[in-house]
Amino acid sequence: MAHPTLLDRHLVFVTGKGGTGKSTVSAALAVLAARAGRRVLLCEVNAPQGRAGPLLAGQPGDGALAELYPGVHALNVHPGEAMSEYGRMVLRFRAVYHAVFENRLVRYFLRVIPSLAELVVLGKILHEARSTRPGGGPRWDLVLVDAPSTGHAVQLLRVPSALVDAVPAGPLRHDAEWMERLLVDAVRTAVVLVTLPEEMAVNEVIELDAQVRGVLGMARAELFVNALSPSAFAPEEGLSLTRAAAAPFPLGPAARAAELALLRAEAGRRQLARARSALDLPTTLIPLFPSAEWGKAQVEQVAEAIAAGWAEEGR
């Protein structure tokens, strides 16, 4: 069987160090998949303000399931709401649910059960990935998850396997088992890593990659290196810029700014080389797009840059 490409998967988790642009990459991938004719669900995990609405629709969303971009629906999954939905699914009848789950003492004990909140959040997402349309066939062609950053993502994705090892047979164990099977299915599910071309971010993504492989046992699909600084000058021109920086205004300040941009670009290339050397993954480069605003137009720019990188590599 041919190895599936990123957008051929049915369930994709996007994660990385906080601040690396994983929400933007998630939105851009959703745009690319929708343009290819896929029905896409973009899930956020307990995002207080939500990023999908501003990025795809230019306005904040309320977190409820809504189409924010042609072909792209978004959903912000909150633990409390997911817990209520899970309770109704398990107990079947609303009256019984209210008698049990709305009891203050029961709710207290539910909150202190280790990993239950993470299980129901992840379960809601995976339930959407398994859902079908009334006429048959999957409801979504692709479920993209703007996952929590690094360690929190590993903790979330590790919950099913931890519960399979820890809890006795019953509904909770059954749910953990099917969730674990879906997560480790390399044909259907994969993890995407996002980093910046900076030392700390690259250190963290290398560690994250090891955890995804070793702790989670999940397939990794791709590495995105975001905000790669371009330079209008070759490295050998750095000495000339240093000399010009001593000149009076306006040449001196302009040369100093160019010298700093060159140094940043050189540092970025070194970190990119480190990431590529450490991670055996297809790597897509996303250039830095300076902008006073960050919304749909900028997400579409990132989507086009990703598509161009894929085309250049024949993917």
Q: What local confidence, expressed as pLDDT, does residue 1 receive?
A: 35
* 11 within 8 A of 147, measured Cβ to Cβ: no
Domain locations in the chain?
6-229+282-312
Q: What local confidence, expressed as pLDDT, does residue 293 receive?
A: 86
* 208 within 8 A of 20, measured Cβ to Cβ: no
Q: pLDDT 10s per residue in the chain (315 long)?
A: 344 689 999 999 999 999 999 999 999 999 999 999 999 999 999 877 788 999 998 777 777 899 999 999 999 998 767 666 665 554 444 443 344 444 454 444 445 444 677 888 898 899 999 999 988 899 999 999 999 999 999 999 998 898 888 778 887 788 889 999 999 999 999 999 999 999 999 999 999 999 999 999 999 999 999 999 877 777 777 778 788 888 888 888 888 888 888 888 899 999 999 999 999 999 999 999 988 888 999 999 999 999 999 999 887
Question: Looking at the domain that runs over 6-229+282-312, which CATH code has it been given?
Answer: 3.40.50.300
**Pairing state of beta strands 66-69 and 72-77?**
antiparallel
**Which strands make up the sheet holding 142-146, listed edge to edge?**
66-69, 72-77, 40-45, 142-146, 11-16, 189-195, 220-228, 283-287
169: Cβ contacts below 8 Å, ≥ 6 apart: none
Q: N- to C-terminal Cα distance for the chain?
A: 17
